[in-house]
Amino acid sequence: MMFNLLNKEIRLAAHPNLFVFALMGILVIVPAYPYGMVFIFACLGPYITFMYGRETNDIYYSALLPISKRDIVKSKFLLVCLSQMVSLLISLPFTFLRIIILPSGNPAGIEANAAFYGFGFLTFALFNLLFMTEFFKTAYKAGRAFLAAIIPAALVVIAMETMVHFPMFEWMDSTKASDFARQLPFLIIGIILYALGTWTAYKISAKRFEKVDL
């Protein structure tokens, strides 16, 4: 069932830009760039896909399939989480590559390191919690949901990019193995918050969507 739902989302519901924005993980190879934009792009993809879904009547089509309303919500979460994970996974080889070819670091903002990924998970958790739950109040108002979610998500990214310019957070802006141990808790907490936040978002969204009149 999960495969069928995801297959439907990828082949019928997803806007091509979802994949394009997921590919933006590659940006971590740019010598000087605020890498937090990778997360912002990964948030834009689902928004455009949900707008596209409104145009293609995707929710109506899904409602006619032999699945429950809860499954419709599940399929959207599967797609969004997949695109977010792809975005991070794609960036991963380039973070290693840049250590070799660009050892001088990123002067524009945070390095692509464990703390960066921790913040990424945190940004996505916040986005999912706000965007998905707001969207499934109506299964229609994607714009309002996006605004409600992208502002707090962007604030997390801005905070991350700003923090690393203060000497006290220098360890967060490092790719040295010695600083990795200090960054690792960030990553672990980020992953835990992402899992918890997304699961909570799914539960709330499913409950809200049950009450929506299509």
Partner 1 sequence: MDLLAVQGITKRYSSFTLQDISFSLPQGKIMGFIGKNGAGKTTTLKSILNMVKLDAGTTQMFGLNYYENEQRCKQEIGVVLGEIDFYKQKKLFSITDVTKRFYRAWDDTAYCKYMDAFALDPQKRVKELSSGMKVKYMLALALSHHAKLFILDEPTSGLDPVSRNDLLGLFRQLVKSGERSILFSTHITTDLEKCADLVTYIKDGKLLKSAETTEFIESFSFLKTLGETAPLSIDEIMVRTEKVIYDV
CB of 152 to partner 1, least distance (A): 30
Residue the block writes with tokens 């834009």: 44
Q: Please tell me whether residue 65 binds partner 1 under the rule CB under 8 A.
A: yes
Judged by CB under 8 A, does residue 61 bind partner 1? Answer: yes
Give the binding range for partner 1 (CB under 8 A) out of 57-65, 96-104, 157-165, 193-201. 57-65
Minimum Å gap between C-beta 3 and partner 1 is 8
Range 72-101, binding partner 1 (CB under 8 A): none
Q: What are phi and psi of 211, to 5 degrees?
A: -90, -5
Alpha helices in the chain (DSSP H): 2-8, 16-22, 37-56, 58-64, 69-101, 114-127, 133-135, 142-163, 177-210
Rule CB under 8 A: say whether 169 interacts with partner 1: no
Torsional class of 160: left (φ above 0), alpha (ψ -120 to 50), beta (otherwise): alpha
Q: Is 60 in the site for partner 1 (CB under 8 A)?
A: yes
Of residues 181-210, which lie at the interface with partner 1 (CB under 8 A)?
Answer: 210
Does residue 12 interact with partner 1 by CB under 8 A? yes
Cβ closest to partner 1, residue 130 vs residue 139:
139
Alpha carbon of 32 to those of 36, 96, 121, 150, 177: distances in Å? Answer: 12, 16, 22, 24, 21
When binding is defined by CB under 8 A, the residue of 23, 63, 147, 204 that contacts partner 1 is 63
Residues 37-56 that bind partner 1 (CB under 8 A): 56
Q: Please say whether the beta carbons of 116 and 110 come within 8 A.
A: yes
> How many residues sit in the footprint of partner 1 (CB under 8 A)?
22
Minimum Å distance from CB 137 to partner 1? 13
Cα-Cα-Cα-Cα dihedral of 45, 21, 195, 182, to 10°?
Answer: -140
CB 145 within 8 A of CB 127: no
Residue with Cβ nearer partner 1 (170 or 210): 210
What's the one-letter identity of residue 21? F
**Considering the rule CB under 8 A, would residue 68 count as an interface residue with partner 1?**
yes
Binding site for partner 1 (CB under 8 A): 4, 7-8, 11-12, 56-58, 60-61, 63-69, 210-214
